[in-house]
Amino acid sequence: MRFGNFEILTWSDGLAELKQLADYVINTHFPQLGTPSPEVYACWFEEICRRTAVMVAEWMRVGFVHGVMNTDNMSILGLTIDYGPYGWLEGYDLGWTPNTTDAEGRRYCFGRQPEIAQWNLLRPGRRAVATDS
């Protein structure tokens, strides 16, 4: 289950489908949180944030660089997926990226992985909250 699965529904104004997907994912992958409700959605997002933070911290602990951390290449389950151009640091270099197409901007470089993970976490909810108001 990718961040992008949720993001696309927010940008296409599919809020009913977004709720349906969220409820399905909570019931299937996060049943310990309980029946979907506003409180459970908040706990669910907290758990997604926690899992993502742990995953990225583990990457960085061992010098792993994902290479393409867009919302379609990141799992809300805290799993590493879609490796694409991944790599491992040979020497400590915050700006290193294994992605040659990212070499100029270095958006997905080693040192920006926590920032990009946070950016991905905020994508689906921004539009849904703005549309809901």
CA distance 17 to 9: 7
Residue tagged active-site, from 72, 82, 93, 102: 72
Closest by CA to 3, choosing from 105, 116, 123, is 123
Determine whether 13 is an active site residue. Answer: no
Beta-strand ranges (E) seen in 1-133 are: 64-65, 87-88
Active site residues: 72
